[in-house]
Structure 1
C-alpha cells in the first residue's frame, strides 16, 4: 500500500464473501429487459473464455422493477484483453482503468474485478486514507466486498440467469435498505463522496440508510471539503437534476452535508426563523422534480439560483443594514455569494452570470412604467426570472400582484399592453390589470428567451 502525507493506514476489515446464488425462478430479471448491446458484450466475453456478469445498479434496478439507464459489466478479463475483443472499445481512467465498448450513443462500461488488497505492483495508492488509484485486479469474491453498498454488489450471470450475491445485497434490496460493505467510517475516509452517494441513492430508490451506515456521516461530513470541487459540482447535478431533488436536499440537511457543500445557504436557512426561505427552496425543488418527471429540460443556472437564493437574501440584508444603496447592495451581495460558493463547488463559468441576472431582475418586477415593462419583457433572462418570481410565492404571497401582472403582460399583444399601461399612468394608478385576458401569447424578440429550459417553475 502506498501512503502519502500520513502514517500508513492498515487495510480495512472487510466481510468474508459468502456466495448465495438466486436461481432464475426466484428473481424477476429477464433478458428482454437488458440492453441488447450489454448482452452482446456479455456473450462475447463468455465465448472468449472469460467470466462476465451484469453488475451494480442495473441488477439492483431490475430487481426493483425499474428501467436502468446504464448497463455495466464486470469481468476477469483485463482492460487490454477487452479491447482486443471489441474494435469499438476505448480504455479510460487512471484511478479506475475501465473499458468502454461504444455502440452509437450507448456505452457499455466493462470493469475488471478489483482486489481488496495491494499486490505491491503500484496499482493501488492511498493518500490520507483516500483511495486515489485502484487497479489491482482480483476475483469476483474480492470485487464484491470492495464495492460500496450491498445493493450494488449483485451479479447477474448470463450462463444460467442466476443472481449471485456475496454480501447480503439481495435481502437488502428486498428490504429497501442501503448498507455500506465493511466499516462505514473507513469506507467514507477512503472516498468522502460516498456520503453524498448514500444520500442520493436513498433519495432515488426510496431506501432507508442502515443506522450503522448513517451514523458516521455528520462527524465525517467536513471531509467533503477535501474532494475535488469539480467532482462535487457533478455530484450536485446528480443529486438535484435526477427527479429526487427534494429528498436529496432533505438528506443533505439531515446529515450536515449541506453545511459543507453550501455553507452560506445552510446558515441563511437556520437564521430565517419564519422558514419562508426554506419553503421557497423546497417548492422550487419540487417543481424541478416535476419537470424531470415530465421529461422537460431544467437549467443548472436556475437550480443554483434557487439553492443560493437564501444566501443572497442574507447577504443583501446585511449590506442594506450597513446603509448601502439598494442597487449596489444587490450587485455586491450577488458577487459575494458567487465568489464564496465557487470554493467548495466549482461552478462552471457559464452559470454565475445567468444566476445573478435571475436574482437582480427580481427587484424590477414591481415598477409599472411603460418603458421599464417592455424593457424587462425583452430581457433574454426574463422568463427564467419570472419563473423564479412564481416560486417565491411559496415564501410570501406579497408577490401575488406582480405574478398576476406579468402573467397577463405575456399574454396580451404589445399595443394592448402599452395602451393599458398608458391608461393607468393617465389615471395616476400604480398599475393596471386589464380585466379581459386573451389566450394568445405575445411574442417579442427575446422576451421569452429563457423558455422552459431556462426557468423551471412554470405557471
Structure 2
C-alpha cells in the first residue's frame, strides 16, 4: 500500500509539472467553423449570464469537438470559474447534483444545461482527520473517488481525458482555446490522451470505454500504445460502480453505433469485463452468439436512425440469452427438473451474477425475464394459449427475439417464428385452423369400489 501511495504522489508531481506546460493556443474566429448560432438558445443564455455576472464561462467538450468535425451538437456543456453555489445564485432554475462530481444543472423545460466548475488538481492524501477532503484518491489504485477540487482553467484542461475534449469556445469572441492540440488530433482522426496513459486510466477506468465509444462514434483510430494499455488494465473496470457502468453501456450500445461498438469492445477485450458470463466463442464471428448479438445491434441502430423506440431490456435479454440457456440445460441434465423451472432458476441466477458488474433497474430486469419466459411459452400452440399470448404486455418483444433467433439458428426456431407471423396476421378462422390438437391426459380407470360408491 505504501508503494502505491508513493506512486500516486509521484504521479501528482508529474501532473503538476505537466499543467505548468499547458498554454492555450487561441484559434481565432476566422480559422474555425464554430459560431454562437451553433449553440442552443439556452446554452447561450447560461454563457452570457455567467459572463455578465463577472465569471468566466465557456462551452466545452463534445459540442465543440463535434462542431469542428462537421456534426451538429445536441448536448451543450458549460464550464466556469464560478462554484456550484455561485452558479445557483445566478440561476433560480438551477439544481445542484452529484457527490463524486458536484455539478449545476440549469433547467429550461426539457433541456438541461450542465455547468461544471473548473476542476483542480488532487493533492496527495490529506492527514487523518481531514474528513472533508479525505479519500479523493484511492491509495491502492489511484482511482478518483471524489472530485470536488476546484482550480484554474489550465488545471481543468489537464484534468480532461482526451485532447479533443480540452477545447473551450468563448461565445462572446467566438474564439477557441485549444490547450492540448485537440484540433490536431481531430485532423489526424486519432484519439490522444492528455497525460500519462496508465495514470489517467487508473484515475478513471471508464476512460477506456469512452475511448472505444469515441473511436466508433467519430470514426477515429486508437493508437497502438493506448490499445496495449487498455488490454493490460481492462480488469480495473470491476472497480467501477455498477450503476455507472449501466449508463456507459447504454451510451455504447444504444446511441446508433452499437454494432461497431461490439466489434471494438471485442478487439479491446473489454466486452468480457462488462459481461463476464459471455462465452469465449463470441470471438468467432460465425458463432450463433456473435451473430445474434450483432444482428440485434444492427436492428437497434436502424431503429434509432428511424427515430423508433429502443429499450435496454431487449439488449440485455439478447446478450445474456445463451449463458442463460447453457445454465438451464445444465440444471435440467443434473437435476431432472422441467424446462420451464430450469429456465426460471437460470434466469434469476444469470441476472443476479450480471448485476454485480452492471446494475440493471428493476423495470428492465422484469421485462428481460418476460422476454426469456416467452421463448418457452411461444412453443405452446394448442387450445387458447396463442390467443392469450397475443395480449401479453411483452409479446412483441418476445416475438421479435424469437424472430432474431430464428434468422440465425434456423430449424425449429425459424419454423416457430414463421408460424407466429402467420398467426398474428391471420383472421379468426385461419387462426383456429392453425391450432394443434389439445393433448388430453390419460385418466386412470376408476376402481370398481369407486363406481359402487358413486351409485350409492
Question: Whole-Å Cα distance in 1 between the matches of residues 50 and 386 of structure 2?
Answer: 65
Structure 2 residue aligned with 1:126 = 137
Question: Whole-Å Cα distance in 2 between the matches of residues 260 and 387 of structure 1?
Answer: 28
Structure 1 residue aligned with 2:61 = 56
> What's the TM-score, normalizing by structure 1?
0.85
What is the Cα deviation at residue 266 of structure 1? Answer: 3.8
| Bigger mean CA deviation after superposition, 189-198 or 14-23 | 14-23
User: Equivalent of 1:293, from 302, 305, 314?
Assistant: 305
Structure 2 residue aligned with 1:437 = none
Question: Whole-Å Cα distance in 2 between the matches of residues 87 and 274 of structure 1?
Answer: 57
Structure 1 residue aligned with 2:160 = 147
Highest relative contact order (Cα 8 Å, sep 6+), 1 or 2?
1
Question: Whole-Å Cα distance in 2 between the matches of residues 236 and 45 of structure 1?
Answer: 34
Structure 2 residue aligned with 1:450 = none
Instruction: Trace 1:373-384 onto structure 2 (pairs within 5 A).
Output: 373-384=386-397
User: Equivalent of 2:97, from 88, 92, 98?
Assistant: 92
User: Equivalent of 1:157, from 170, 175, 182?
Assistant: 170
Partner-residue secondary structure (3-state), 1:69: coil
1:42–1:54: 8 Å Cα contact kept in structure 2? yes
Partner-residue secondary structure (3-state), 1:322: helix
Q: Which ranges in structure 1 are unaligned for 5 or more consecutive residues?
A: 427-459
Question: Whole-Å Cα distance in 1 between the matches of residues 367 and 82 of structure 2?
Answer: 47
Question: Whole-Å Cα distance in 1 between the matches of residues 392 and 86 of structure 2?
Answer: 56
Shift of the 4–85 alpha-carbon distance from structure 1 to 2, 3 Å rule, reads farther
2:205–2:236: 8 Å Cα contact kept in structure 1? yes
Structure 2 residue aligned with 1:37 = 42
User: Equivalent of 1:306, from 318, 333, 342?
Assistant: 318
Question: Whole-Å Cα distance in 1 between the matches of residues 189 and 53 of structure 2?
Answer: 37
- Asked if residue 193 in structure 1 is aligned to residue 198 in structure 2, the reply is no
1:55–1:156: 8 Å Cα contact kept in structure 2? yes
User: Equivalent of 2:80, from 61, 75, 95?
Assistant: 75
What is the Cα deviation at residue 281 of structure 1? Answer: 1.0
Partner-residue secondary structure (3-state), 2:113: strand
Shift of the 347–44 alpha-carbon distance from structure 1 to 2, 3 Å rule, reads same
What is the Cα deviation at residue 29 of structure 1? Answer: 0.8
> What's the TM-score, normalizing by structure 2?
0.86
Q: Which ranges in structure 2 are unaligned for 5 or more consecutive residues?
A: 439-456
Structure 2 residue aligned with 1:400 = 414
Higher-Rg member (1/2): 2
2:168–2:176: 8 Å Cα contact kept in structure 1? yes
Instruction: Trace 1:399-418 onto structure 2 (pairs within 5 A).
Output: 399-418=413-432
Per-residue deviation, residues 44-83 of structure 1 (Å, max 9, x unmatched): 2222222211101110111122222211111122222222
Question: Whole-Å Cα distance in 2 between the matches of residues 151 and 133 of structure 1?
Answer: 24
1:46–1:52: 8 Å Cα contact kept in structure 2? yes
User: Equivalent of 2:22, from 17, 21, 25?
Assistant: 17
Structure 1 residue aligned with 2:443 = none
User: Equivalent of 2:5, from 3, 7, 10?
Assistant: 7
Per-residue deviation, residues 271-293 of structure 1 (Å, max 9, x unmatched): x8950121011001111111111
What is the Cα deviation at residue 356 of structure 1? Answer: 2.0
Question: Whole-Å Cα distance in 1 between the matches of residues 327 and 282 of structure 2?
Answer: 12
Shift of the 331–4 alpha-carbon distance from structure 1 to 2, 3 Å rule, reads farther
Question: Whole-Å Cα distance in 2 between the matches of residues 201 and 234 of structure 1?
Answer: 15
Shift of the 297–116 alpha-carbon distance from structure 1 to 2, 3 Å rule, reads same
Question: Whole-Å Cα distance in 1 between the matches of residues 201 and 391 of structure 2?
Answer: 49
| Bigger mean CA deviation after superposition, 185-194 or 173-182 | 173-182
What is the Cα deviation at residue 351 of structure 1? Answer: 2.3
Question: Whole-Å Cα distance in 2 between the matches of residues 210 and 365 of structure 1?
Answer: 48
| Bigger mean CA deviation after superposition, 176-185 or 318-327 | 318-327
Instruction: Trace 1:348-359 onto structure 2 (pairs within 5 A).
Output: 348-359=361-372
Per-residue deviation, residues 334-362 of structure 1 (Å, max 9, x unmatched): 22212211211122222223212212222
Instruction: Trace 1:216-231 onto structure 2 (pairs within 5 A).
Output: 216-231=229-244
Question: Whole-Å Cα distance in 2 between the matches of residues 210 and 168 of structure 1?
Answer: 16
Structure 2 residue aligned with 1:444 = none
- Asked if residue 360 in structure 1 is aligned to residue 358 in structure 2, the reply is no
Shift of the 253–144 alpha-carbon distance from structure 1 to 2, 3 Å rule, reads same
Structure 1 residue aligned with 2:270 = 257
What is the Cα deviation at residue 4 of structure 1? Answer: 10
| Bigger mean CA deviation after superposition, 304-313 or 99-108 | 99-108
2:406–2:415: 8 Å Cα contact kept in structure 1? no
Partner-residue secondary structure (3-state), 2:150: coil
More helix per residue: 2
Structure 2 residue aligned with 1:336 = 349
